[in-house]
Structure 1
Amino acid sequence: MGDPALSRRGFLAASAAAGLGMTALSGCGGDSDGGSSGTTTIEWWNISTTEPTRGVWAGLARKFEARNPKVKIKIVQLENDAYKSKMTALTASGKLPDIFHTWGGGVLRQQIDAGLVEDLTDRTKDFADGLLPVAKQPYLFDGQVYGIPFDIGMIGFWYNKALFKKAGISAPPTTWWGFLDAVDKLKSAGVAPVALAGKEKWPGMYYWAYLAMRTAGAEALRKAYDAKDFTDAAFVEAGQHLKELVGRRPFQKGFLGAAYSTPTGQAATVGNGKAAMELMGQWAPVVQADAGKGLGENLGFFPFPAVDGGKGAITEVFGGGGGHALRRGAPQAAVDFLKFFASETTDRELVSKTGVIPVVPAAESALADPNLKAVQTQLKAATGFQLYLDQAYAPAVGQEVNDSVAALIAGSKSPEQVTESITKTAKEEQ
């Protein structure tokens, strides 16, 4: 992964670009109240800013406090992009929160290499061994455990069955050409085919990543990162397919300025029936209902289509889940909270109330939503798995993927320039 110190300039630059105030960056780390009570305060940073997850998680923190009267949980909840920026600044400062959300992959690896993350192998063995193996993969490094999952899933297309019917689309497309044909039919029917949060670059990255998996294969993405070379013709082809989609003008009006979870953003556009599809993760139904009205029985799910002639299979999935890691030297109370969060009782509550895919096998029976069952079926049948690129790769490389793909979607970069920019950044990380 290279020397973490080499990316310190990138961390600081990202922090400055985000205009961060330091008030939210202070006070990390559990501590006693200094009085006779000996209360330990644990700071828990997460990205659960939408309902019902926000309220459910706050309730779980209170439940843990009731069982552990000498522990207080201080919750810091930030929206996805704001969270990433703040954590970038904290990583550069060398001080992380007691408990923090992580997607694993290269970002967590860099924090580990900087000596900032607790090795949980021995401290969590009594409960972590029983969790779903695929859910634990993003947090395993050199055989050691550095994070505990609470969710696992994949990116796919969430679609409005009523709008598909209106456009004369009888079944979800299984090939890229079929997908483009569906886009054309939806436009002809006066329907915005796809909602996209162009203001937040990570949703657009999903398209290029999946197309790269379909044209080159999931293994090719891993090899390209190891070789620091993304200029293979198959990756250029992925960009060409995305450029062709963009040329059809499939996205909602004003998409370049749209956020993801705001009342006028990507999720609400789909949830309010103003666009037929969005490419998003297993959390999509919950956010659609929180930001908009939600589609209820009109909501469906299908995997990203296959590309004719491509080396990748439709059974190779792109996604990941959420997990929690601890700062190095975190108190035992933080470990106890992870155990509480990974219990069957908690997982059942998370599955039934917040729509996550279970990571505790015994909680699987709590999964009732047919669309989430469809996601789980795809995951179980997966022949390959690729973690989100902006988490699988070192931070600077992941950010360049997001930035370059966003530029392609906006029309300011060519497919070739996307691969060249990612390659250049990857080599600079060496």
Structure 2
Amino acid sequence: MLQTVRMHLSAATRRRALAATATAAMALSISCAGSASAADLPVWDDYSYEGQVAVIETLVKNFEAAHPDVDVQRTQRTFDDLALTLKLAVSAGDGPVVTKVNQGAKDMGAMAKEGLLLPLDPYIQKYGWTERQSDSILARDRWTKDGKFGTGETYGISSLGEIVGLYYNEKVLKDAGVSLPLKTFEDFLEACDKVKAAGATPIAMGTAKQHLALHLLAGISQAHIDASKRSELDDLIYGRGGSWQTPGNVESAALLQKWAEEGYYFDGFQGISGDDAVQLFIAGQAAFLTSGTWYFGDMKANPDIHFMAIPAPKGVEHPLSVGGVDPAWAITALAKDQATKDLAGSYIDYMVSPEAAVEWAKAGYLPSTKLPDDANIDMTPLLKEGVAIWKSLNANDAIGHYPDWSSPTMLKTIDDNMPLLLSGRDTPEAFIGKLQADYAAYLASK
């Protein structure tokens, strides 16, 4: 559901807010470029979960306090709503100046190619963003004019790091006789079997909305790839060639289908949304959930819940974990003059600043920008686990990819055909074959 948040301050209110926050504002590393006169700044973002909304509203208020002549007009959308409407709105001339945009060919790639997004490289240099985030992370926002992914100009930068990993409920597992920690993928499979035998649900799943099944499929498949052998996956996602029809993808699809047939998911999971499945998991109704760190804020409600990377099978030393960063902040072509572009760049700079990273971490989320060394944050156990995993993945070049980035239509192809796989109407080979056909068509179109 679309929720538009208009944040207007009267002149008097602004003066009081500025006076009250002057000291704090001086500490914020926010450039005032482009704010010499009153300006509206239309912004779209996908921060729709309760914990995320609280953070982004705080950050917007901070930015406005430091820019008293700027009126941030924030529109909140879900991830799916943003993907559905953003390109059309910018093309029509009534969309945002600053927006979140999903990386990959369908969204950022298409918009960059059509000139609907502006390169951020001048602001990367101006604000020193390469000192806050690694080049391998920024590469996920790069596109050439002829549509090559992972190279060329940079069209976005993100606020949050993302890891698609394995949430687990320690109490549910111990009640089923499962010993922790789980060290290998074989341990994970055995734990699922024990939970099922104990009469509980092993894996939280809902496929009516969102993408839990996609995350489970990709998470399992990529956990079987050692970081030293990641080039084939990189080529696939960046549109340089390769094939979906690998033994690992077929075997992962077969495992998901087997679990569906044998009752390892919620009863009626095909009619349950992903968000509802998450809430059932938080309520203790399943042992495992494969999803991302963006749920950290919600998971705080249950202290029995922990987070780990999907464990690798024996012989894989540094397994890949699906993830990277959340949809990126970008400037659209609706920034027509230099003052507007600079104001947009200043807004994004604050959204990826160390100060913003501290606010996210305080709320239990994993920031993509490095936290200041002197940050005094009482991290939740989940965030500590996430930070440790993020550090290890970066050190071992083991951050994998979202598979839907591989073509403009891949997310729809997966979503349309996943129900057929999980209901047994498609074989694993047929399901993966459809993904390969989509990818081959995309390569041919280039």
TM-score by length of 1: 0.81
How far 1:122 sits from its partner (Å)?
0.9
Pick closer, same or farther for the CA change 1:174–1:244 going to 2, 3 Å. Answer: farther
How far 1:307 sits from its partner (Å)?
3.7
Question: What is the alpha-carbon distance in structure 1 between the residues aligned to residue 98 and residue 260 of structure 2?
Answer: 40
Q: Say which of 194, 209, 215 aligns to 1:206.
A: 215
Question: What is the alpha-carbon distance in structure 2 between the residues aligned to residue 91 and residue 326 of structure 1?
Answer: 11
Look up the match of 2:305.
299
* Contact kept in structure 2, 1:315 and 1:381, CA below 8 Å: no
How far 1:341 sits from its partner (Å)?
1.6
Look up the match of 1:8.
none
Amino acid at match of 2:430: Q
How far 1:356 sits from its partner (Å)?
2.4
Look up the match of 2:132.
131
Look up the match of 2:367.
357
How far 1:109 sits from its partner (Å)?
1.9
Amino acid at match of 2:331: L
How far 1:395 sits from its partner (Å)?
2.2
Q: Please list, as runs of the form range in 1=range in 2, the aligned pairs for 1:188-207 lying within 5 A after superposition.
A: 188-207=197-216
How far 1:421 sits from its partner (Å)?
0.7
Quick check: 1:423 aligned with 2:436? yes
Quick check: 1:316 aligned with 2:320? yes
How far 1:111 sits from its partner (Å)?
1.4
* Contact kept in structure 1, 2:104 and 2:408, CA below 8 Å: no
Q: Deviations over 1:195-241 (max 9, x none)?
A: 11211252111122123324466433333453263223332222223
* Contact kept in structure 1, 2:184 and 2:311, CA below 8 Å: yes
Question: What is the alpha-carbon distance in structure 2 between the residues aligned to residue 418 and residue 251 of structure 1?
Answer: 20
Quick check: 1:394 aligned with 2:444? no
Structure 2, unmatched stretches of 5+, are 5-35, 144-150
Instruction: Give me the identity figure in percent.
Output: 20
Secondary structure of residue in 1 paired with 2:190:
helix
Question: What is the alpha-carbon distance in structure 2 between the residues aligned to residue 95 and residue 385 of structure 1?
Answer: 36
Amino acid at match of 2:132: L
* Contact kept in structure 2, 1:357 and 1:367, CA below 8 Å: no
Question: What is the alpha-carbon distance in structure 2 between the residues aligned to residue 314 and residue 247 of structure 1?
Answer: 31
Q: Please list, as runs of the form range in 1=range in 2, the aligned pairs for 1:137-216 lying within 5 A after superposition.
A: 137-141=139-143, 142-215=151-224
How far 1:112 sits from its partner (Å)?
0.8
Look up the match of 1:327.
332
* Contact kept in structure 2, 1:103 and 1:321, CA below 8 Å: no
Look up the match of 1:236.
250
Amino acid at match of 1:121: D
Q: Deviations over 1:99-125 (max 9, x none)?
A: 111342333122111111111101332
TM-score by length of 2: 0.79
Quick check: 1:408 aligned with 2:413? no
Structure 1, unmatched stretches of 5+, are 1-19, 26-36
How far 1:354 sits from its partner (Å)?
4.6
* Contact kept in structure 2, 1:351 and 1:357, CA below 8 Å: yes
How far 1:130 sits from its partner (Å)?
1.8
Stretch moving more, 126-135 or 188-197: 126-135
Question: What is the alpha-carbon distance in structure 2 between the residues aligned to residue 74 and residue 24 of structure 1?
Answer: 12
How far 1:419 sits from its partner (Å)?
1.6
Secondary structure of residue in 2 paired with 1:376:
helix
Amino acid at match of 1:78: R
Pick closer, same or farther for the CA change 1:378–1:353 going to 2, 3 Å. Answer: closer
Question: What is the alpha-carbon distance in structure 2 between the residues aligned to residue 231 and residue 379 of structure 1?
Answer: 29
Look up the match of 1:34.
none
Question: What is the alpha-carbon distance in structure 2 between the residues aligned to residue 198 and residue 327 of structure 1?
Answer: 32
Question: What is the alpha-carbon distance in structure 1 between the residues aligned to residue 137 and residue 383 of structure 2?
Answer: 16
Pick closer, same or farther for the CA change 1:338–1:201 going to 2, 3 Å. Answer: closer
Pick closer, same or farther for the CA change 1:64–1:214 going to 2, 3 Å. Answer: closer
Quick check: 1:111 aligned with 2:149? no
Look up the match of 1:259.
273
Amino acid at match of 1:260: G
How far 1:266 sits from its partner (Å)?
1.6
Quick check: 1:346 aligned with 2:356? yes
Amino acid at match of 1:368: M
Give the CA RMSD over aligned residues. 2.7
Look up the match of 2:231.
219
How far 1:70 sits from its partner (Å)?
2.0
Stretch moving more, 200-209 or 398-407: 398-407
Pick closer, same or farther for the CA change 1:417–1:92 going to 2, 3 Å. Answer: farther
Stretch moving more, 78-87 or 271-280: 78-87
Question: What is the alpha-carbon distance in structure 1 between the residues aligned to residue 93 and residue 296 of structure 2?
Answer: 36
Amino acid at match of 2:322: F
How far 1:89 sits from its partner (Å)?
3.8
Question: What is the alpha-carbon distance in structure 2 between the residues aligned to residue 24 and residue 377 of structure 1?
Answer: 35
Amino acid at match of 2:310: F
Question: What is the alpha-carbon distance in structure 2 between the residues aligned to residue 316 and residue 178 of structure 1?
Answer: 18
How far 1:428 sits from its partner (Å)?
2.1
How far 1:242 sits from its partner (Å)?
2.3
Amino acid at match of 2:42: E
Q: Deviations over 1:314-337 (max 9, x none)?
A: 531211222211102521221111
* Contact kept in structure 1, 2:418 and 2:431, CA below 8 Å: yes
How far 1:77 sits from its partner (Å)?
1.0
* Contact kept in structure 2, 1:96 and 1:116, CA below 8 Å: no
* Contact kept in structure 1, 2:42 and 2:98, CA below 8 Å: yes
Look up the match of 1:121.
121
Amino acid at match of 1:84: A
